[in-house]
Amino acid sequence: MHESIPHWDARFELGREDGDLQHRYFLNLVNRLAGALSDARGVARRAALLAELKAYDRFHLLSEENLMQRDAYPGLARHRRLHDELFDALSSREHAVSLADEATTVDDIVRFLVEWCVHHTAGEDRLYAEFRQQAAGR
């Protein structure tokens, strides 16, 4: 386990099985890739690892947005914007890695991904979970 990456805990549990599985997988993936990125020799290898992360991330964000659409979640447009910003930020890091930009270190990428897990999943995604719970209680 990369030292700055949190363990899965209750703040990430949002009460929907497939969503929780996806978030748990994302955290595992971040952890595995953090180790692999640190060991990676060469730009092509690092870029390939980030491409794997991006592919999973794209799938996960679309999956979440589709559920929000199904549930007529009023925060969907805002949430989609946040997803787009996160994805753009990840893409620009991937681009920097492919250009061998020294300033974009593995630590910077891991920090960004951990921020994402902690603030987006435990914050913004939780708002949607709360909306669903309220809708179910109506």
* Candidate ranges 25-33, 98-106, 118-126, 129-137; the one touching Fe ion (CB under 5 A): 118-126
Closest to 129 in 3D by CA, of 71, 53, 45, 48: 71
Distance (Å, whole) CA 26 – CA 37: 16
Contacts 24+ apart (CB under 8 A), 42-47: 43/97, 43/98, 43/100, 46/97, 47/94, 47/97, 47/98
- Quote the least distance from Cβ 17 to Fe ion, whole Å: 16
Q: How many residues bind Fe ion (CB under 5 A)?
A: 2
- Quote the least distance from Cβ 105 to Fe ion, whole Å: 26
- Quote the least distance from Cβ 110 to Fe ion, whole Å: 19
- Quote the least distance from Cβ 4 to Fe ion, whole Å: 21
Q: Does 94 bind Fe ion (CB under 5 A)?
A: no
> Which amino acid belongs to residue 76?
L
- Quote the least distance from Cβ 51 to Fe ion, whole Å: 21
Residue nearest to Fe ion (CB): 125
Distance (Å, whole) CA 81 – CA 64: 13
Binders in 55-74 for Fe ion, by CB under 5 A: 64
Closest to 80 in 3D by CA, of 67, 61, 94, 99: 61
Distance (Å, whole) CA 27 – CA 21: 10
* Candidate ranges 7-15, 93-101, 109-117, 124-132; the one touching Fe ion (CB under 5 A): 124-132
* Candidate ranges 70-78, 86-94, 95-103, 122-130; the one touching Fe ion (CB under 5 A): 122-130
Q: Does 125 bind Fe ion (CB under 5 A)?
A: yes
Question: What are phi and psi for residue 8, nearest 5 degrees?
Answer: -60, 130
Question: Which spans of this chain sit near Fe ion (rule: CB under 5 A)?
Answer: 64, 125
